[in-house]
Structure 1
Amino acid sequence: MIRSGGRHPATSLRTTECGAAASRSGPTLLRLALSAPRAATGLTSEWRTVDGLRTHVRRSDDLGQSTLPVLLVHGLAVSHRYLTPLAVTLAGTHPVYAPDLPGFGLSARPPRAYDAQQHSDHLAALLTAYRLPPVCVVGHSFGAEVAAALAARHPGRVRAVVLAGPTSDPQARSRRAQVGRWLVDTTREALWQAPVLLRDVVDARPWRVWATLSHSIHNRVEDDLTRIAAPTVVVTGARDPLVPTAWRARVTQLVPRARTVVVPGAAHNVATTAPRQVADTVRALLGTSIPTS
């Protein structure tokens, strides 16, 4: 049962032991992130042809029809890879689907870069291909823009929403400003992520990353945020330079049924570096018991 209701004050999560996936060493996390398409830690790879594009999905086991699926949506320069720690952490309580958006990761590369709305339509078609019930969609960074578009344009597909590090702040809606904030963020992130980012940029091609950044800064995510009907949590790292306090508060204000969670010590890649806290946020939103093992 989803716990929802009116607006709540910001919640600060204590920094605790991050569980099996998060407590692994950097080299172990790196190997896990780069393991696809090989099976690893309960995750397997599948491909589905959606709107003519061969789409890669990294997924966990199906836990039964009564368990709400969780759809993980990655950001603009990356893929399912950096969301692997979160996928592993959530897989104990929910079936997890982490697709590579068109042009990224192991999915086929269309000749043009999709904007947030086109990506959301592709995801809606992917959910149809899997015959999934309404899902909890967890989007990170540009993926949060895609998640907002999915919830706004295809409300029947979405039961709950988690916007992690949502972009882009209107006060920095230019390539220069976003790249500047991202460079600050790189000084605050775990170093093991760098090879994952490099692999993802090579897969996507730099031109696609740049074009997707252009889509992001021209996307009025505010319009989609106001149309989200599902209960929502906005989760950010306390040290995230791309999502300053004022923008985080504005996002929460725009979504009719939203609350905020702030993870101490985390920067922009909160879904990667604080998977236990983000997973606990998802479970709290969905009213799911946290496994004790």
Structure 2
Amino acid sequence: MRRPRPTAAGRFGLAELRLALAAPRPAAGLTSEWRLVAGLRTHTRRTADPGAGAPPVVLVHGLAVSHRYLTPLAVALADTHPVYVPDLPGFGLTERPDTAYDVGRHAAHLAAWLSAYRLPPACLVGHSFGAEVVAAVAARYPDAVRAVVLAGPTSDPAARTRRAQFGRWLVDTVVEAPAQAPILLRDVWDARPWRVYATLTHSVRNTIEADLVRVAAPALVVTGARDTIVPTGWRTQVARLVPDARSLVVPRAAHNVLTTAPGPVADAIRRLLAPTLTNR
């Protein structure tokens, strides 16, 4: 399968949808593999190493979803970085444990995953709930992290309840590209609705601020200009709490900015990592 041509920010078409749903089949340079991590058979979608010596980039999905919707960003970064997109426990093609992990357990699993792959310090890119997990890894396992990208990070203290977060998500669906819907349906089916609900409960009980202030790595806070889940005030607060953070707001994109605006986000990640490449 050829790589789809980049689409304008806020767009997601049928070519991207087909590629997102391709796993575990190889497609557009992406392959699937499974490794036993902390007792769970863990699926990872990955690109080849372009051989430029650039640090690896690890994409961490959000609540209810999986590697699938992060495929456009993985493809956009593949020419310059080795990219890994693991499915968190219970989601996507990873084994489903009997319980829904909270942020701390997901962070521990991701740290074990990094160890299993023997990666050098990596750029961790977390979206939505995945940003909570990435912030926890950066705070608790700093030696494993070269840089951090917090994209659409949840959850805003002004709406830290299940009802409020679900309400904001419903508003966001109105401005998202409709072609993403089959991915969400497939991912919720894989995870099971009870796990989605339980994980949302863990998310709204997680005080991400305590981890943000402990992030020592260079950071980038990314949101879409039309993101109703992460309003301007919360995005500004996140960037202020992280000691070394810059911000990017992508015009026309909504909450799923990594999916619908992979080009601008990939360019921003390359700029974030450029100083570390210079100093290698």
Deviation track 1:140-197 (CA, whole Å, cap 9, x = no partner) reads: 0000000100100100000000000000000000011000000000000001100000
Distance between the aligned counterparts of 2:7 and 2:203, measured in 1? 29
Distance in 1 (alpha carbons) for counterparts of 2:36 and 2:183: 25
What's the TM-score once normalised by structure 1's chain length? 0.90
Task: Work out the CA distance in 2 between the residues paired with 1:65 and 1:219.
Answer: 38
- Give, in angstroms, the shift of residue 198 of structure 1: 0.1
Alignment match of 2:123 (pick from 108, 116, 136):
136
Corresponding position of 2:73:
86
State how many pairs are aligned.
Answer: 270
Query: Does 1:67 pair with 2:54?
Result: yes
The answer on whether the counterparts of 1:21 and 1:88 sit within 8 Å (CA) in structure 2 is no
TM-score (norm 2): 0.94
Q: Deviations over 1:182-231 (max 9, x none)?
A: 00000000011000000000000000000000000000000000000000
Matched, 1:188 2:188: no
Alignment-mate amino acid for residue 189 of structure 1: E
Question: Structure 1 unaligned runs (5+)?
Answer: 1-18, 289-293
**1:231 alignment partner AA:** P
What is the CA–CA distance in structure 1 between the aligned matches of 2:119 and 2:45, rounded to whole Å? Answer: 15
Contact 2:12 2:180 in 1 (8 A): no
Q: Which amino acid aligns with 1:165?
A: G
Using the alignment, how far apart are the partners of 1:82 and 1:271 within structure 2? 8
**Are the aligned partners of 2:42 and 2:87 in contact in 1 as well (CA < 8 Å)?**
yes
Query: Which residues of structure 2 form unaligned runs of 5+?
Result: 276-280
> Higher mean Cα deviation, 184-193 or 59-68?
59-68
CA distance in 2, matches of 1:257, 1:20: 34
Q: Does 1:201 align with 2:188?
A: yes
What SS class does the counterpart of residue 20 from structure 1 fall into?
Answer: coil
Please list, as runs of the form range in 1=range in 2, the aligned pairs for 1:159-198 lying within 5 A after superposition: 159-198=146-185
Which AA in structure 2 matches 1:285? L
1:241 to 228, 231, 236: 228
State the identity %. 69
Deviations 1:36-76 (A, max 9, x none): 00000000000010011000000000233822000000001
Q: What amino acid is the match of 2:122?
A: V
Q: Is the 8 A contact 1:22 1:85 kept in 2?
A: no
Aligned to 1:153: 140
Corresponding residue for 2:5?
20
Report which structure shows greater RCO (CA 8 Å, sep ≥6): 1
* 8 Å CA contact retained: 2:131, 2:153: yes
Compute the RMSD of aligned alpha carbons. Answer: 1.3
